[in-house]
Structure 1
Amino acid sequence: MKIIFSEDHELHQSPGELFLGGFTEAFEKPERARLVLARAREVGLGPVLAPESFALEAITRIHDPALVELLQTAHAQWLASGRSGAAYPYTWAARGMRTDRVSKEIDGKLGFHSFDCGTPITATSWQAIKASADVALTGAKLLNDGEESAFALCRPPGHHATASQFGGYCFLNNAAIAAQSLLDQGAKRVAILDVDYHHGNGTQDIFYHRDDVLFVSLHGDPDQEFPYMLGFADETGAGAGEGCNVNYPLPWGTEWENWSAALEDGLQRINAYAPDMVQVSLGVDTYKNDPISHFKLEHEHFTRMGARIKSLNRPTLFVMEGGYAVAEIGINAVNVLTGFEAA
């Protein structure tokens, strides 16, 4: 399995985030990608390729150009306003406020185009953000060129980013950008299976009214877990997309037996949809020791997960998302991939 990876991921480093009432070291950190790559090399998963560079049009097929421009210029605007350090949003377009216009000031722009305060922008974040999207697009190109599988080792992750908002450590929705690329290159239907602990609210929002992408997500129940306001089972798509959104919200403490039962049902839904290609938003924060998650999967369960995904028997692109038990992230992510390869 070919691995696409960019050293530019190192250019995004959050100074920290609010967690449990205090300011703490960021959970989304460069070590995550380094350790996944090191483990992939250790087990001989496959060759490591640098990403190609794609035009911004591949990104604006999914994202609002105003968001893309902001991500490129936010830090410079932040400094020009007299601030220092990373640019953090701190006010948002809440209910009752106007959303038909955006403030000219950087704080208003950040608030309009974000939904949390845990996703800061530094002087070099854009280079990492763009490289992460290029990693995913290169993976999609490999599938279009005939590869049966590929691993886009994206960082920063992407599945929380909507068409016009960033948040949840995510700036651009790498999986959605790659899926659109597959469709633009001739695929008629793409299925996205999101196995991250947190609901891929951005991916759902982007494709919710479309029938050319099936979105299937297994995640922490939004009655208990971030992002809280999306990911319920009654969200099934709308308009042309009715029936093309499938959520499996699961309670804190979910173990493999119940998680895998939801996976089996989701795989059946994907098979019935009969996609040309499959993408997996690969978050491994379902691991029992993840510091910000509450599921109970063990190392061996990730291997079994990969084998079950292989049963779909379709070209498959894995796109890296979350996983914050840093010492074990390489083991768990690569177990999925080796389980897939061995099946």
Structure 2
Amino acid sequence: MKCFYHETQNNHAPKLFFLRGQPAPSPEQPVRAERLKEAVEAAGASLSLLPPLASDPLLLDRLERIHTTRYLVFLEGVVERWRALPAASDVVAPNVHPCGHASFYPRHIVGQAGWHMHDMACPMDEGSYSGILASATTAQAAADAVLQGESVSYALCRPPGHHAGPERAGGFCFLNNTALAATVLRERYDRVAIVDVDLHHGNGTQDIFWERDDVWTGSVHVNPADFYPFYWGAAQEVGAGEGKGYNCNMPLPLGADGIAFLQALSQLLSALAEFKPQAIVIALGLDAHKDDPLAGMTLETEDFYRIGQRLAQVKGPKVIVQEGGYPTDSLSDNLAAFLKGFQWG
């Protein structure tokens, strides 16, 4: 298994986010990557460190297949524009959001920030954009490795990406790394599947492929009736237009354990088999562990070994893209367990 990481990801290091109306320490910190790197080594693999960021027209072209141009322009320039405002905060933190049937795109940066940033979990400062771009670059490198003949690759990405929609950031996510990996694979394979095993529903990924029948999307997650992202992820959401029937959600009750998770995953993979994918992207969340700071399930470390085992049984080349999983004493063990189960289970 080839594993990839870009150290420029460390440039994105938000100190705070808003949790239940209160500023709280952000769990989306560079220490996440340090603990995940330890896990890669513990699993007997090694990380390929990517070279310094440079202009990459191919990456931009691929990102424009999943995100709008105005959103990409916004991400690149928002911090400078925001700080030019009188009495502006150091970090971008919108105080207004469109509701209802809003369709007018504002010119003012405060309005654009509210349009593009779904929640208060995506503060940006001067280092954020390069860190976000490095995360996407990592996902691209892992997917390119599969195009070049690798049977499986792992992208250690932070910030994560699966809550990022066509022109929306949310849930610590800015660019959708999982969707980017699927986009790269589509350059060779006609049918690509995404299997999301993060604690939270991958609402951004679902939105991107909602009306497409070439990329099947499936997710096991906490029921959004009781948990973030709240407004997406119900079982009846199956896609629309040409994509109808190509989205599959398996919501579980808050506090579900590993037995329930693995049962739901088996059902999801049975549905996937009907699609007959030629390549798979695994959106790997480790935040379903009982000790995660955003805990909504009660999985044990050994459950991630079984999840890795089960996903390895799906036929076809695979790109594993790191999504959630936040700093705890168990984080490294959880990734190591998944990778061992995937490789040797």
Assess same fold via TM > 0.5.
Answer: yes
Provide structure 1 residue ranges, at least 5 long, that are not aligned to the other structure: none
Aligned pairs for 1:81-160 within 5 A: 81-82=85-86, 83-96=88-101, 98-99=102-103, 101-160=104-163
CA deviations on 1:144-164 (whole Å, 9 max, x unpaired) are 111010000011100000001
Aligned pairs for 1:5-16 within 5 A: 5-16=5-16
Distance 1:273 1:232 in 2: 20
Distance 2:204 2:46 in 1: 30
- Aligned with 1:305 (options 303, 307, 310): 307
Distance 1:149 1:72 in 2: 31
Distance 1:44 1:181 in 2: 27
- Aligned with 2:282 (options 272, 280, 283): 280
Aligned to 1:79: 83
Aligned to 2:195: 193
Aligned pairs for 1:253-332 within 5 A: 253-332=255-334
* Secondary structure, aligned partner of 1:285: coil
Aligned to 1:50: 50
- Aligned with 1:222 (options 220, 224, 232): 224
Aligned to 2:20: 20
Aligned to 1:68: 72
Of 224-233 and 110-119, the range deviating more from structure 2: 110-119
Distance 2:298 2:120 in 1: 28
Distance 2:211 2:5 in 1: 32
Distance 1:32 1:22 in 2: 22
Distance 1:93 1:271 in 2: 39
Distance 1:214 1:337 in 2: 24
* Secondary structure, aligned partner of 1:332: helix
Distance 1:129 1:8 in 2: 9
* CA positional deviation for 1:110: 0.3
Distance 1:327 1:102 in 2: 44
CA deviations on 1:134-182 (whole Å, 9 max, x unpaired) are 1111111111111010000011100000001111100010110111111
CA contact (8 A) 1:128 1:156 kept: yes
Is residue 37 from structure 1 mapped to residue 9 from structure 2 by the alignment? no
* CA positional deviation for 1:47: 4.2
* Secondary structure, aligned partner of 2:329: helix
CA contact (8 A) 1:13 1:125 kept: yes
Amino acid at match of 1:65: T
Amino acid at match of 1:2: K
CA contact (8 A) 2:118 2:169 kept: yes
The alignment's TM-score, normalised by the length of structure 2, stands at 0.95
CA contact (8 A) 1:45 1:338 kept: no
The alignment's C-alpha RMSD in Å is 1.3
Distance 1:103 1:208 in 2: 26
CA contact (8 A) 1:35 1:330 kept: yes
Provide structure 2 residue ranges, at least 5 long, that are not aligned to the other structure: none
CA contact (8 A) 1:219 1:250 kept: yes
CA contact (8 A) 1:71 1:121 kept: no
Q: 1:233 to 1:118 in 2, by over 3 A?
A: same
* Secondary structure, aligned partner of 1:326: coil
Is residue 175 from structure 1 mapped to residue 183 from structure 2 by the alignment? no
Amino acid at match of 2:82: W
Amino acid at match of 1:315: P
CA deviations on 1:264-301 (whole Å, 9 max, x unpaired) are 11111222211110111001111011121221110111
CA contact (8 A) 2:198 2:323 kept: yes
* Secondary structure, aligned partner of 2:218: strand
Aligned to 1:2: 2
Number of matched residues? 340
CA deviations on 1:53-82 (whole Å, 9 max, x unpaired) are 642112111100111111110000011113
Distance 2:199 2:246 in 1: 20
* Secondary structure, aligned partner of 1:226: coil
* CA positional deviation for 1:104: 1.9
Distance 1:221 1:164 in 2: 24
Of 220-229 and 42-51, the range deviating more from structure 2: 42-51
* CA positional deviation for 1:325: 4.2
Distance 2:230 2:41 in 1: 37
Of 154-163 and 41-50, the range deviating more from structure 2: 41-50
